[in-house]
Every structure is written in C-alpha cells, then in structure tokens.
Amino acid sequence: MILEDYIKKLRKNGKITTVSRSISKNLEIAGVLKTLEPEPVLFENVKESEFRVAGNLFCNKMQISDYFGITTEQIIPTLANAIENRSKPEQTENAPCQEVIEEKVDLDKIPILFHNKVDGGPYISSSVVVAADPEYGQNLDFHRAMQFSKDKMVTRIVRGRDFHKFLERNGEVDVAFCIGNTPEVLVAAATSVETGINELEIANALSPIRVTKAKTVDLMIPADCEFVLEGRVVLDEKHDEGPFIDLTETVDVVRQEPIFEVKKITHRKTAIWQGLLPGRSEHKILMGMPREPTVFKKIKDRGIDVRDVYLTPGGASWLHVAVKIKKKNDDDGIQALEAAFAGHKSAKHIWVFDDDIDIYSDEEREWAMATRFQADVDLLIKDPEPGSSLDPSAEPGTKMTTKCGFDCTKVLDSKGKSFSKAKFPEVDLKKFLGD
Ligand SMILES: Cc1cc2nc3c(=O)[nH]c(=O)nc-3n(C[C@H](O)[C@H](O)[C@H](O)COP(=O)(O)O)c2cc1C
C-alpha cells in the first residue's frame, strides 16, 4: 500500500493529527512527534522542503495489527507464517516511487530530520536498505544514515548484519535506501533470517507488494515507497558517524563508519517523508517485534504450550521479554526461560507468565510477579555471557553480561492458596446512573 493511502485512511477515521502551520525539520518536527507519541502526525508545511513529513505511524502492536486487519495475538503467527511461506512479489514498470527522477542529487531538498541537539547531523532513520551480493542475492536491512554534504551520508552498519557481510565480501556495494514504507516492508526488513533470503518475499507474504527495478543500480525495490536514494556504500571510505540517540534512548558513541554516496534520487510526485523517532516507540517496536516469532518457536519446539511473546518497550523492546504460556508441567516456566534466551541472544531479563495474565499490561505483569514468584525456586541466573551491544551496563567491548529469568507462573498444585484475582459483580451502570 502507498503510505499516502494509509494516511488518508487514518484521516478519515480521525486517527491522525495534521499540523498545517509552518514547522522546521530541525528539532521542531521531532519535538512534536515526541510530545504526541503514539499519535500519528502529518506535517503539511515544512519550512525547509516542498515535501510533507509523517511520523509516529506504527508506534505499537495495535497500530500494526490494525494495518493488517488482525489482532495483536495474531501478529506472531502471521509473521512466522510469512517467514516460512515466502512468495515472489509482482513486478511493475510503472512504479510510484519513480514518478519523479531528480536531475541532480541535492539532499538538502528533502526533509531529513535533525532530531536532537546532541545528534551529529540530520538523520534518515526509517530507511529500508536494499543491497545485493553475487552469491546470496538481495537483502533488506535498516541502516541509519547521517547527512554531511549535498550527496553524501555516513551509514551505521553493525558487524554481523547481512549488509556488513556483503561489504566485507565485495568492498563496495550498490544500494537503494527506500523511505516511506508500510508495515509489510518495514517488518520484513527488520527480520533477521538466513543470509540469502530476500525479505521482499517475506513482505509479499505478509501482504502483496509490487517491486520495480531501480534506475541506476541493479536492484529490485519496493515500488510503492515514497523516496529512493540510489548509490553506493564503500567499506573503506569512512566518516564520523554520530552522536545519535539509539534504541535505549542513551547517546551512542561516535564511530568511523562507511560513506554512502547518493547518485540518484527518485520519488512520488506528492511524496511524503517518513520520520521515525530514534530510540522511541516506533524504532523499538520495529526492532523488537520481528524477534518475537523466533522466541515463540524456540519455546514451542521444547513442547511447551506458548501463547504469546512480547519484547516490552520498557526494556527498549530488545533487552526484556515477556512470555505467556499455558503451564502443564511444573518445570514449564524454567524450561520456557531457557528456550527464550536461546531465541534472543540480546535478551537480558525474561519473565514467564500464565495465560490469565495480560502481558501487554505493565501492572498485570508486576502483579503476577508480586503474587506468583519465589526467588529461591523461580529465579534463573545464567553464567555471564555476551549480550547486547546496546546495553550500557554490559562490559564494553566484550558485551559480557549476566542474564536472569523470572518464572512468574503459579505452581500447579496450589495447596489451597489463591492465585487468581477475585471477580467483582458485573452491573449495568445505566440501571443506576441512567443514559
Ligand atoms: C528502525 C530501525 C533502525 C535500525 N538501524 C540500524 C542501523 O543503523 N544499523 C544496523 O546495522 N542495524 C540497524 N537496525 C537493525 C537491523 O537492520 C535489523 O536488525 C535487521 O533485521 C538486520 O537484518 P539482517 O539479519 O538481514 O542483517 C535497525 C533496525 C530498525 C528497526
């Protein structure tokens, strides 16, 4: 789907705030997005650019499940199914993202947001990067990119990512940074699947998409995105990258990262720039949610009746995991913890809950821990091992950290103790208060 059509739908349902007054891409747009989060916002009058900007579009699981027309609990099976049953997208010659092919590359013309005073420059934070390798074929990743001239950016490429593998093998790689995507492409790009799997086929299995050939590089790109920046990333041509506010909302250090030279810009005629607040909920949900099916599968493979998995926003949607199971054996909770750690190596703390607990509610999770957890038997402390590079408390360099899990499920033999919330009478308020 074209982002503009989705925004029209939000507008019709009164689910988006429109800012028609003049606003700057420097700090002001980010400030409004942060203040109104998780409400979607469309900025119609950006001081420095002819293009509109939209942000906060997919800040939580509800917004994403609404987009797909499913419930939040159906997200994991839907995503797992799309990863398993990938399908080839339709190809088109008439791509909306190529309605306009800019003669000259001038990044100053597009509203690349300067999010925060501490940032090293304006950043693209929502771009899905398409790259290819002669052996593995195409891959989709997210890579932030900081603008430092009219046609050059520096892009953060974490070691171990598929794109980094491509760069190490080839030295320089043609790319297409695609901005302005809907959740099938965003979520597919954020999955970490086997190298060689083209995530555009996962996107197509989530909801049919169209692809088109990029103009100057040999890549197939999502045809319905808003902007495409085509060019080349060279591993050994480096520039300062950062500072930047990353997933944990702390400031990431300045590193020497590869330069992305932009050679062609294409876009829709009435293109909308997709803003994404670094470190905030949209960044978190896109980072964490695609890991949930992997954790789910690992627990299921142990023979445990797992019902749902949620990488909680308070844990930066990366370091903390809440798991819901239907307990059948006394050790299901501890077993589920072990399996969940195997499914997400960056997890530091994991909680397992019974199926009567709403794992999306902070209060319910805390209540279950308060009333069902005993540290001497329900706590799993692992030997130190490498965790997430994003955790400031992990040992710098080695990422060594101590992981622990909390089995917050009730014992199967309750020995007369009450573990369920008492029910209050249900009344029809109209009977006592009137209409
Ligand atoms: C919004 C967002 C921004 C991200 N930014 C970066 C980034 O700047 N650099 C990076 O290496 N990974 C970044 N990531 C993470 C990876 O792109 C992501 O985990 C991806 O699934 C890795 O795919 P791969 O396994 O195909 O390499 C980001 C993820 C999201 C959702």
**134 plus 262 within the same structural domain:** yes
Which whole-number Å values give the CA distances from 371 to 376, 377, 420, in the listed order?
Answer: 14, 14, 9
Is residue 62 situated within a structural domain?
no
Is residue 322 situated within a structural domain?
yes
- Please give the tally of structural domains in the chain: 2
Atom index in ligand 1 nearest the CA of residue 160 equals 27
**205 plus 321 within the same structural domain:** no
- 332-357 residue pLDDT tens: 999 999 999 999 999 999 999 999 99
**202 plus 292 within the same structural domain:** no
Which residue, of 239, 270, 301, is where some domain finishes?
Answer: 270
84: pLDDT strictly greater than 90: yes
For residue 251, the enclosing domain spans 88-270
Interhelix angle 183-190/281-288, nearest 10 degrees: 60
Cα distance between residue 359 and residue 321, in whole Å: 10
Are the CB atoms for 59 and 281 separated by under 8 Å? yes
Atom index in ligand 1 nearest the CA of residue 195 equals 26
pLDDT above 90 covers a percentage of the chain that reads: 93
Mean pLDDT across 44-50: 98
**264 plus 308 within the same structural domain:** no
* Per-residue model confidence (pLDDT) at position 10: 96
The secondary element (H helix, E strand) that includes residue 212 is strand 210-213
Catalytic option among 246, 332, 354, 378 = 246
* Per-residue model confidence (pLDDT) at position 396: 85
Is residue 430 situated within a structural domain?
no
* Per-residue model confidence (pLDDT) at position 68: 96
Q: Which residues line ligand 1 (CB under 6 A)?
A: 139, 141-144, 156-158, 161-162, 190-192, 276, 283, 286-287
pLDDT above 70 covers a percentage of the chain that reads: 100
**109 plus 248 within the same structural domain:** yes
Is 383 marked active-site? no
Which residue, of 217, 237, 270, is where some domain finishes?
Answer: 270
Please report, as a single letter, which amino acid is at residue 344: H
**265 plus 292 within the same structural domain:** no
**306 plus 263 within the same structural domain:** no
**106 plus 214 within the same structural domain:** yes
**232 plus 368 within the same structural domain:** no
Query: 169: domain CATH number?
Result: 2.30.110.10
Query: 367: domain CATH number?
Result: 3.40.1670.10
Atom index in ligand 1 nearest the CA of residue 155 equals 8
DSSP per-residue codes, 83-110: HHS--PPEE-SS-GGGSEE-SS--GGGS
Distance 368 CA to ligand 1 centre (A): 33
**323 plus 228 within the same structural domain:** no
**92 plus 240 within the same structural domain:** yes
Residue 47 pLDDT class (50, 70, 90 cuts) = very high
Is residue 135 situated within a structural domain?
yes
Residue 415 pLDDT class (50, 70, 90 cuts) = confident
Is residue 245 situated within a structural domain?
yes
The two tokens of residue 215 are: 């103009």
**229 plus 127 within the same structural domain:** yes
